[in-house]
């Protein structure tokens, strides 16, 4: 299982619109091949910064299957105008499951 961690900075005042867009987009991710979970976390220290956490079965389910899909275009249409800059995306794998 792969965890996508996308750091997303939102234009001031566009936070509610962005959150609404993510709520709508959840259905796109849910039907994406290999997508197993999605949540949006909002920074306490910097409230216009978010972390979108998405679980994928494989790295390619995100980087190839999803990014080349029509639903990716739809996702960006829903929220892309709220971004101050392109999201900083990283992928991780579980190294230690504490508890």
How far is residue 34's CA from residue 29's CA, in Å, rounded to a whole number? 9
Length of the chain: 99
Smallest gap from Cβ 77 to its own copies, in A, equals 18
How far is residue 39's CA from residue 42's CA, in Å, rounded to a whole number? 10
- Residue with Cβ nearer its own copies (49 or 69): 49
Smallest gap from Cβ 2 to its own copies, in A, equals 7
**Contact footprint for its own copies (CB under 8 A):** 2-3, 5, 19, 22-23, 26, 29-30, 37-46, 49-51, 59, 90-99
Q: Give me the residues paired with residue 53 across strands.
A: 5, 39
- Residue with Cβ nearer its own copies (74 or 90): 90
- Residue with Cβ nearer its own copies (44 or 70): 44
Compute the Cα dihedral for 63, 67, 71, 72 and give only its sign: positive
């Amino acid at each position: 299982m792969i965890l996508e961690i996308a750091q997303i900075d939102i234009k001031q005042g566009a936070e509610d619109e962005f959150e609404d867009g993510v709520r709508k987009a959840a259905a796109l991710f849910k039907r994406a091949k290999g997508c197993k979970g999605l949540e949006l976390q909002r920074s306490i220290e910097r409230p216009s910064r978010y972390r979108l956490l998405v679980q994928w079965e494989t790295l390619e389910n995100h980087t190839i299957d999803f990014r080349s899909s029509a639903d990716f275009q739809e996702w960006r249409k829903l929220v892309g105008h709220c971004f101050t800059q392109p999201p900083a995306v990283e992928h991780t794998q579980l190294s230690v499951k504490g508890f």
